[in-house]
């Protein structure tokens, strides 16, 4: 009997005109999808995934528990799953006309409507912006972004009663709670604010409520000092760099992309994708550019595993492809192995199946930071072909707000598909309840953010800006030079207020060594302190030490921490050796290649091998190692570092080749405002990197060494002999 009724309903609705949704899924998209007789692989996978999710849920029945658990806990994950169920069920209803999907989405929305208004703030609230369904308002915004889309897809086919209940008792109250009810977050120029704006704005379109849309676009006071447009203006630099870095960029991107598309679909006259010279498109591309071998550069607070296959970027790629038609984006979609259930997603899947994908063009570029592009920048230098090209990341950006690390002028090096000079990322186990509920761990502050945790200079065992991000926020490096000359990529930057009365300048040169050998990196780091102090420069690496020029005996009987504070307390000192002339070399093995770090310090130095794990009572830190170069009691220092990948280690084929450095000798000279680093290879080849101490002042430079004279103009030059 019941079955019959359902079938009659099904027939009724299937034959009725299903009126069009218009947020991300559009009426045109629906028509196109319905007109497609055989779905291409990626799209059909998306359909299957959605069907499996929704049908599992229909089997379980409606489960809308009272919110009690923090991130990673049962109710948290359940409410996350539910917004996907609502959105997927509603989408499937549009695409198939099957009213069972409609009924399921409706029932779940009604369950939420019955509960929401009586909910207090979440019992596990921990920060200043709690939610009601979730411990953080942020999660509630994400929930609403999805639920608004779901509602938009079924609204026209709901009865008046349901529609009123859902609108008045759920969507409006949530939108109000996230805006007027959470003023601090909503008005903030920050990714939480963007999510809130997108949630409120998309709800506005779904309800046909212009005022809500205006609130989302211009802020609670309607003055444009907050809201989505302000966020677009301030959170991205003109190059599409997001000030918190790529980990948050991909997260922040999603509300920009989704609300952007909703605006475009509802009010194309706003030309939102042309806003600020097409900033949304640039932001999507810049996110992809900030990745290596599929994962994002882990600068600032970043979960290192996060990469291009993240759901946010699946939306981003579909949106960007719809806008630009760049076939390189299809290869990213292929890597993701996923697309979205919209017209844009269908187009991605179709064109990918038609073999239109080309390799994504990873480029060497400076991504300027700051709303006007004048607050430093992220230097990305690549050499070689494709996504495995050697990549050097120079973190010469601004602070990046509260999630920023105190790592001015730090670098990361990737080679042969791996991170060679590493960045720790964040100390956090996302959504693992036993690890402080999945939040940032205390060691994120005491270690991961500190300067000593990064590949940069530390003066007097204190972190940059005294570990005060608000102070850091007011200042940034000046990137004087970012250029490609003589088969080399060059970046140079200076900062004068990481420490009072100090100057730090780093010049990094990535040099093409021809088709037979990987590029070599020459890195010159100058420090001037206010007065004599300890000057440290660590390099963290993943791999096994295989050789050193120093008699570097590892401690056998006892280990002690390097220091007491500012991250130093977390480093065990495994070994220390002195170098009277300041020079040393270390070789390690990472994957199938050897890497030699050649170092010349300007004064007698000690080199220590250090490892994270001291003063970490809860085993919150990963065990990672570094080499720490230290000058004691100096006012000035120059550190010349050469990173040379070489050889092959192939245990499968029992083949090892060139496990020793190819370099015979490195020397460095400096006079009259210019310097050279001379690499003499065992083959007889000589490579000379010449550079000015300061950015180009237009004068001719000249350095004479024994019989040789090197002359150049401009900032840097590479001579090959």
Per CB under 8 A, the list member of 546, 636, 667, 670 interacting with a second copy is 546
x/- track of binding to a second copy for residues 143-182 (CB under 8 A)? ----------------------------------------
Instruction: Report which of 333, 298, 300 is spatially closest to residue 318, judged by C-alpha positions.
Output: 333
Q: Report yes or no: 428 and 381 within 8 Å, Cβ to Cβ.
A: no
CB of 404 to a second copy, least distance (A): 21
Q: Which of 478, 503, 545, 603 is close enough to bind a second copy by CB under 8 A?
A: 545
Q: Which of 655, 664, 682, 683 binds a second copy (CB under 8 A)?
A: 655
Q: Quote the least distance from Cβ 657 to a second copy, whole Å.
A: 6
Q: Tell me the per-residue interface mask from 238 to 257 with a second copy, x by CB under 8 A, - otherwise.
A: --------------------
- Selected range binding a second copy among 104-112, 218-226, 233-241, 541-549, rule: CB under 8 A: 541-549
Q: What are phi and psi of 228, to 5 degrees?
A: -60, -40
Binding segment for a second copy (CB under 8 A), chosen from 413-421, 473-481, 542-550, 708-716, is 542-550
Question: Which 573-592 residues touch a second copy, going by CB under 8 A?
Answer: 574-575, 587, 589
Strand extents, DSSP E, 44-175: none
Pick between residue 624 and residue 696 the one whose CB is nearest to a second copy. 624
User: Is the CB of 556 or the CB of 698 nearer to a second copy?
Assistant: 556
CB nearer a second copy, residue 422 or residue 489: 422
* Residues catalogued as catalytic: 248, 403
Residue 425 beta carbon to a second copy: minimum distance, rounded to whole angstroms: 11
Question: How many residues are recorded in the chain?
Answer: 721
Establish if 87 lies at the interface with a second copy (CB under 8 A): no
Q: How far apart are CA 316 and CA 250, in angstroms?
A: 9
Angle formed by the axes of helices 137-154 and 246-266, nearest 10°:
30
* Residue 310 touching a second copy (CB under 8 A): yes
Q: Read off the tokens for 153.
A: 């897809």
The interface with a second copy within residues 701-720 (CB under 8 A) comprises: none
> What is the DSSP secondary structure assignment for residue 22, as one 8-state letter?
B
d(CA 351, CA 703): 56
Token pair, residue 472, equals 């850091």
> Binding residue for a second copy (CB under 8 A) from 161, 269, 516, 654?
654
Spatial distance between the Cα atoms of 341 and 503, rounded to a whole number of angstroms: 53
Q: Site residues for a second copy, window 410-439 (CB under 8 A)? A: 429-435, 438
Residue choice 127, 623, 665, 713 for contact with a second copy (CB under 8 A): 623
Pick from 34, 210, 356, 622 the residue near a second copy by CB under 8 A.
Answer: 622
Q: How many CB atoms lie within 10 A of CB 685?
A: 16
Of residues 12 and 655, the one with the C-beta less far from a second copy? 655
611, 630, 638, 646: residue in contact with a second copy (rule CB under 8 A): 611
Per-residue contact string for residues 633-652; x = within reach of a second copy by CB under 8 A = ----------------x-xx
3 state DSSP class of 670: strand
Residue 483, token pair as written in the block: 């250029």
609 binds a second copy per the rule CB under 8 A: yes
* 544-548 and 520-541 beta bridge pairing: unpaired
Number of chain residues interacting with a second copy (CB under 8 A): 60
Query: Stretches 118-126, 474-482, 508-516, 569-577: which one binds a second copy (CB under 8 A)?
Result: 569-577
Distance CA 422, CA 643 (A): 13
If one asks whether residue 547 binds a second copy (CB under 8 A), the answer comes out as: yes
- Rounded to a whole number of angstroms, the minimum distance from the CB of residue 573 to a second copy is 10
Shortest approach of a second copy to residue 310 CB, angstroms? 6
Whole-number CA gyration radius for the chain: 28
Report the C-alpha gap between 603 and 535 in whole angstroms.
Answer: 11
Query: Alpha carbon 170 to chain centroid distance?
Result: 33
Which are the contacts of 11, defined by CB distance < 8 A and separation ≥ 6? none
What's the min distance (Å) between Cβ of 613 and a second copy?
Answer: 7
Q: Which residues contact 115 (CB under 8 A, 6 or more apart)?
A: 64, 66
Based on the shown chain and the rule CB under 8 A, indicate whether residue 683 belongs to the binding site for a second copy.
no
The answer to whether residues 401 and 379 touch, using CB atoms and an 8 Å cutoff, is no
Judged by CB, which is closer to a second copy: 345, or 613? Answer: 613
Q: Which CB sits closer to a second copy, 254 or 527?
A: 254
Beta-ladder partners of 548? 586
Closest approach of a second copy to the CB of residue 214, in Å: 31
Instruction: Indicate the burial class of 201 (C-beta count within 10 angstroms; 0-12, 13-18, 19 or more).
Output: buried
For residues 34-73, which are near a second copy according to CB under 8 A? 72
Closest contact distance (angstroms) between CB of 144 and a second copy is 17
Runs of H (alpha helix) within 179-309: 183-186, 191-207, 210-218, 228-234, 246-266, 275-289
Q: Does 103 bind a second copy (CB under 8 A)?
A: no
Residues numbered 276-305 forming contacts with a second copy, rule: CB under 8 A = 303, 305
Q: Shortest gap between Cβ of 661 and a second copy (angstroms)?
A: 10
Residues 6+ apart with CB under 8 A from 438: 70, 71, 72, 428, 429, 430, 431, 432
- Interatomic CA distance for residues 74 and 671, integer angstroms: 65
Shortest reach from residue 306's CB to a second copy, in Å: 6
Nearest one of 320, 305, 360, 314 to 337, comparing CA atoms: 314
Give Cα 99 distance to the centre of its chain. Answer: 40
- 664 is an interface residue for a second copy by CB under 8 A: no
Task: Kindly state the smallest distance separating residue 406's Cβ from a second copy, in Å.
Answer: 22
C-alpha of 343 from chain center: 27
Binding site for a second copy (CB under 8 A): 72, 77, 80, 303, 305-307, 309-311, 429-435, 438, 544-547, 552-561, 569, 572, 574-575, 587, 589, 609, 611, 613-619, 622-623, 625, 649, 651-657, 659-660
């Amino acid at each position: 009997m019941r079955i019959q009724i359902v079938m009659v309903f099904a027939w009724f609705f299937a034959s009725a005109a299903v009126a069009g949704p218009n947020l991300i899924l559009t009426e045109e998209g629906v028509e196109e999808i319905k007109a497609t007789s055989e779905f291409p692989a990626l799209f059909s996978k998306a359909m299957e995934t959605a069907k499996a999710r929704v049908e599992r849920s229909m089997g379980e029945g409606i489960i809308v528990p009272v919110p009690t658990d923090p991130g990673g806990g049962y109710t948290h994950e359940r409410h996350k799953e539910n917004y996907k169920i609502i959105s997927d069920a509603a989408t499937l209803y549009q695409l198939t006309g099957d009213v069972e999907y409609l009924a399921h989405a409706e029932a779940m929305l009604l369950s939420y409507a019955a509960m929401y208004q009586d909910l207090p703030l979440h019992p596990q609230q921990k920060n200043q912006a709690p939610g009601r369904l979730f411990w953080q308002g942020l999660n509630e915004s994400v929930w609403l972004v999805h639920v608004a889309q779901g509602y938009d897809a079924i609204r026209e086919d709901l009865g008046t009663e349901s529609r009123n209940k859902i609108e008045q008792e759920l969507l409006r109250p949530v939108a109000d709670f996230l805006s007027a009810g959470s003023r601090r977050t909503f008005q903030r120029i920050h990714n939480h604010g963007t999510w809130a704006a997108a949630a409120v704005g998309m709800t506005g379109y779904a309800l046909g409520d212009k005022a809500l849309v205006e609130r989302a676009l211009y802020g609670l006071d309607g003055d444009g000092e907050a809201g989505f447009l302000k966020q677009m203006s301030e959170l991205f630099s003109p190059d599409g760099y997001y000030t918190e870095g790529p980990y948050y960029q991909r997260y922040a991107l999603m509300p920009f992309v989704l609300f952007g598309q909703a605006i475009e679909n509802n009010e194309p006259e706003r030309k939102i994708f042309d806003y600020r010279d097409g900033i949304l498109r640039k932001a999507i591309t810049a996110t992809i550019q900030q990745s290596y071998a599929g994962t994002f550069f882990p600068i600032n607070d970043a979960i290192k595993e996060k990469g291009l296959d993240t759901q946010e970027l699946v939306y981003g790629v579909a949106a960007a492809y719809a806008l630009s038609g760049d076939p390189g984006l299809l290869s990213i979609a292929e890597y993701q192995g996923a697309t979205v259930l919209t017209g844009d997603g269908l187009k991605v899947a179709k064109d990918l199946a038609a073999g239109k994908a080309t390799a994504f063009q990873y480029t060497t570029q400076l991504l300027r930071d700051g709303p006007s592009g004048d607050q430093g920048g992220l230097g990305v230098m690549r050499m070689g072909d494709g996504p495995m090209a050697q990549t050097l990341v120079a973190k010469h950006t601004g602070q990046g707000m509260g999630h920023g690390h105190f790592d001015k002028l730090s670098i990361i090096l990737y080679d042969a598909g791996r991170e060679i000079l590493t960045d720790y990322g964040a100390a956090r186990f996302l959504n693992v309840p036993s690890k402080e509920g999945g939040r940032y761990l205390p060691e994120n502050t005491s270690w991961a953010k500190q300067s000593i945790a990064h590949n940069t200079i530390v003066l007097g065992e204190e972190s940059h800006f005294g570990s005060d991000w608000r102070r850091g926020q007011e200042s940034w490096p000046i990137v004087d030079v970012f250029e490609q000359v003589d088969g080399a990529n060059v970046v140079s930057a200076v900062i004068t207020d990481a420490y009072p009365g100090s100057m730090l300048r780093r010049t990094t040169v990535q040099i093409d060594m021809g088709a037979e050998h990987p590029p070599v990196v020459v890195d010159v780091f100058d420090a001037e302190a206010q007065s004599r102090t300890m000057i440290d420069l660590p390099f963290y690496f993943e791999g096994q030490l295989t050789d050193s020029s120093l008699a570097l005996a590892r401690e056998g009987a006892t280990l002690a921490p390097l220091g007491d504070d500012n991250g130093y307390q977390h480093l065990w000192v495994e070994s220390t050796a002195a170098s009277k002339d300041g020079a040393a070399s270390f070789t390690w093995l990472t994957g199938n290649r050897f890497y030699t770090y050649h170092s010349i310090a300007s004064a007698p130095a000690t080199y220590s091998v250090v490892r994270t794990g001291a003063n970490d009572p809860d085993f919150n830190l990963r065990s990672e190692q570094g080499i720490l170069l230290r000058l004691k009691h100096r006012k000035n220092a120059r550190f010349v570092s050469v990173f040379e990948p070489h050889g092959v280690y192939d245990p499968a084929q029992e083949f090892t080749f060139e496990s020793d450095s190819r370099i015979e000798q490195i020397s460095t000279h400096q006079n009259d405002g210019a310097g050279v680093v001379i690499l003499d290879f065992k083959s007889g080849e000589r490579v000379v990197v010449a550079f000015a101490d300061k950015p180009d002042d237009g004068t001719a430079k000249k350095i004479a060494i024994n019989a040789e004279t090197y002359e150049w103009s401009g900032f840097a030059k590479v001579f090959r002999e």
